[in-house]
Structure 1
Amino acid sequence: MAARKNRTINLPAPYLKRIWLDPSRVTDRDAYPFCLPLLRDDFELSFDRAITIIVGENGTGKSTLLESIAVLAGFDEAGGRNGYMPVDHSKAIEKMGGQLSTALRASWLPKIANGWFFRAESFFSVARYLDEVNNEFIPGVGRGIPPDFLSHSHGEGFLRFFNEQCQRQGLFIFDEPESALSPSRQIEFLKLLRRMDATGHCQVLMATHSPVLMAYPNATLLRLTKYGLEPVTVEQTDHYKVMREFYADPAGFVNAAIAE
């Protein structure tokens, strides 16, 4: 069974083709997360490219949407993957994706069980879990070589984790990966995305506030607002417009922003 789950699929990404809301499964339209504007109408989202990037302000439902997709894929909604679901981080993170996933349906071609759901909030508990698992003694084998993600700085640990875990075939969900990455490290992350994209067998769903990451070429870029999801260019995002104003006149921008 495990071999079947981990078998290589001879089809290119994307594997998750479509998700949609089944109204008959909604328990209470006035309760969160079903009250999100994203779900106000007949919600449906299709994936026709290997990389999909979602942008939007805090509170619009980006993380909840990614969590729900992670649960549909069999991952822990607090972060992790199939078979990697450490319990110590789950209680510390507010999660609503599991509730939303009960009302969602998904179309896969084919359904795959491999991949990762990355959340910045739970990275260290996942990394600690991987370090411990790889350091366990296995009769007849001995000890594995632990990846030792935690001995690196925050950003370096993130990048090492991404590079070692995120180039195999699967679905990879990133919720604001830039949170621990300097601008130069974000460039390194873009290079990783390019390598993942080039394999042809990695599907990436990412939510970000970083205009640098939004600009990845050939990705589907979607903006989430109170009106729902819509295709957008980097230049049309509020994130890009704010940073453009800042770079044009840093001192003037900050003085205007903090003026009482």
Structure 2
Amino acid sequence: MQYLESFRLPDEDAEWQFFVSQKSRAFSDYYPFQIFPDKQLTDLSFEPVTILYGDNGSGKSTLLNIIAEKLGLARAALYNRSSFFEDYLARCDFQLARALPAKSAIITSDEVFDAMLHTRALNQGIDDAREDMFKDYLQNKFGDFHYHDLSDYDELKKVLETRRKTQSRYVRDNLAKNAREYSNGESAMQYFQDKLQDDQLYLLDEPENSLSPTHQQELAKLLTDSARFFGDQFIIATHSPFVLAIPHAKIYDLDSVPVRTKKWQALPEVQAYAAFFREHQDEFE
């Protein structure tokens, strides 16, 4: 499915008009201005899967954030936003192929990592409460409790419960269960499987972070199937050769000047992998 058809960045003339309008010269950095004109990049068109490729600092994440903010997509993680972001967004434009789905979102590697940390923090809190409950059990079971009036009723119930249950049964019945923890890679995959819904637009910033090669292949298949069978559109910033190899993906090489589309096999990073394995081919036999 295709929701976002095209996106237009301000060209060199538009950026120049912005700088002419500035009365203050106190700033040395006007981010996100001054990034894409040098790459001769103004217009992007999209397919069901579009990939932004480039080395660190090439502008992949910046471009995703610009698109996400211009479209008003939901996000759960902070991003690098300067005082001039609104000025830049005002000079951008886009064309939709159809109405943007309400739950469309940008998902970053920071968001995935935050979710893993949240699970760990939740479990740590439960573990701490469990230790307190062990002590509470012993105090109520063997303490010198005397019932006086109705104000002691809740305490009486607790004492009676501890006396008819084992310590482990008492804790199980009164404490939330730990959330299941996986390895980082398994947690990241589980996050994407739970997060991605049908018929949405998703911008993904380096989703392969924390994923092993095997899990990167699983992610590539999940994205392929979600686009092909379940009506999702993806714009992805990635270094992963497995994600880059998604069938029929349109790939923009942000390292080339001017920026242009390329086949995944022609990308320098993929070529580096291929050269490495050719060099060591006899070691696999």
**Aligned counterpart, 1:32:** 31
Cα contact 2:3–2:233 (8 A) shared by 1: yes
Residue 206 (structure 1) shift: 0.4
Q: Distance in 2 between matches of 1:225 and 1:56?
A: 5
Cα contact 1:130–1:146 (8 A) shared by 2: no
Cα contact 1:171–1:202 (8 A) shared by 2: yes
Residue 110 (structure 1) shift: 1.8
Q: Deviations over 1:21-66 (max 9, x none)?
A: 245874339833221145664711111x211011111111111001
Once structures 1 and 2 are overlaid, which stretch shifts more, 173-182 or 33-42? Answer: 33-42
Once structures 1 and 2 are overlaid, which stretch shifts more, 189-198 or 97-106? Answer: 97-106
**Aligned counterpart, 1:125:** 114
Q: Deviations over 1:56-109 (max 9, x none)?
A: 111111110011111123235xxx2xxxx4xxx53xx53469454333111112
Q: Distance in 2 between matches of 1:31 and 1:19?
A: 21
Q: Distance in 1 between matches of 2:90 and 2:119?
A: 29
Q: Deviations over 1:92-144 (max 9, x none)?
A: x5346945433311111223332231111232335667999xxxxxxxxxxxx
Change (3 A) 1:146 1:111: farther
Q: Which amino acid aligns with 2:31?
A: Y
Q: Deviations over 1:191-218 (max 9, x none)?
A: 2012202235201000111111111101
Change (3 A) 1:42 1:159: closer
**Aligned counterpart, 2:64:** 66
Equivalent in 39, 49, 54 of residue 56 of structure 1: 54
Q: Distance in 2 between matches of 1:147 and 1:176?
A: 29
Change (3 A) 1:37 1:73: closer
Equivalent in 253, 258, 270 of residue 223 of structure 1: 253
Cα contact 2:40–2:259 (8 A) shared by 1: no
Equivalent in 57, 82, 90 of residue 102 of structure 1: 90
Q: Distance in 1 between matches of 2:257 and 2:238?
A: 19
Q: Distance in 2 between matches of 1:147 and 1:61?
A: 40
Identical columns (%): 26
Q: Deviations over 1:162-218 (max 9, x none)?
A: 111113221111111111110000111022012202235201000111111111101
**Aligned counterpart, 1:152:** 182
Structure 2 unmatched ranges of 5 or more: 21-28, 122-175
Change (3 A) 1:38 1:65: farther
Structure having the higher strand fraction is 1
Q: Distance in 1 between matches of 2:178 and 2:19?
A: 44
**Aligned counterpart, 2:100:** 111
Structure having the higher helix fraction is 2
Q: Could you say what secondary structure the match of 2:259 adopts?
A: strand
Structure 1 unmatched ranges of 5 or more: 1-12, 133-144, 252-260
Q: Distance in 2 between matches of 1:209 and 1:39?
A: 22
Once structures 1 and 2 are overlaid, which stretch shifts more, 113-122 or 28-37? Answer: 28-37
Structure label with greater radius of gyration: 2
Change (3 A) 1:18 1:39: farther
Change (3 A) 1:55 1:38: farther
**Aligned counterpart, 2:44:** 45
Change (3 A) 1:28 1:113: farther
Cα contact 1:222–1:231 (8 A) shared by 2: yes
Higher RCO (CA-CA < 8 Å; seq separation 6+): 2
Superposition CA RMSD, Å: 3.2
Q: Could you say what secondary structure the match of 1:180 adopts?
A: coil
**How many correspondences in the alignment?**
213
Q: Which amino acid aligns with 2:44?
A: L
1:213 equivalenced with 2:215 (yes/no): no
Cα contact 1:20–1:104 (8 A) shared by 2: yes
